[in-house]
Amino acid sequence: MQKDVSEMTFEEAIKELEDLVQKMESGDMPLDDSLAAYTRGTELAKFCRAKLQMAEETIQKIEGETGKNKSEGVPF
């Protein structure tokens, strides 16, 4: 049974997403399995983007508190 995405760490989600991509790229998955993998991959990608956005906001907050803005304008 798959772990709920909201209970995963960023690293777990990225690993599962990479595994899904590899399986899908192999071309050996039946159509229904490919559709399920695509749906799951979309959920994982959305989760990872949200985690990265939160990390970026945290870094910007820390830099704002310390007066450092070295990463300003640099995308994560």
Residue 26 φ then ψ, to 5°: -65, -25
Which residue blocks in the chain are alpha helix, DSSP H? 10-26, 31-66
Burial code of 15-32, b = ≥16 C-beta within 10 A, e = fewer? Answer: ebbeebeeeeeeeebeee
The model's pTM is 0.78
Pick the CATH number of 5-66 from 3.40.50.800, 3.40.50.10490, 3.40.605.10, 1.10.287.1040: 1.10.287.1040
pLDDT in tens, 30-65: 999 999 999 999 999 999 999 999 999 999 998 888
Give the integer Cα–Cα distance in Å for 9 and 19: 15
Tokens 């070295």 locate to 70
Domain ranges of the chain: 5-66
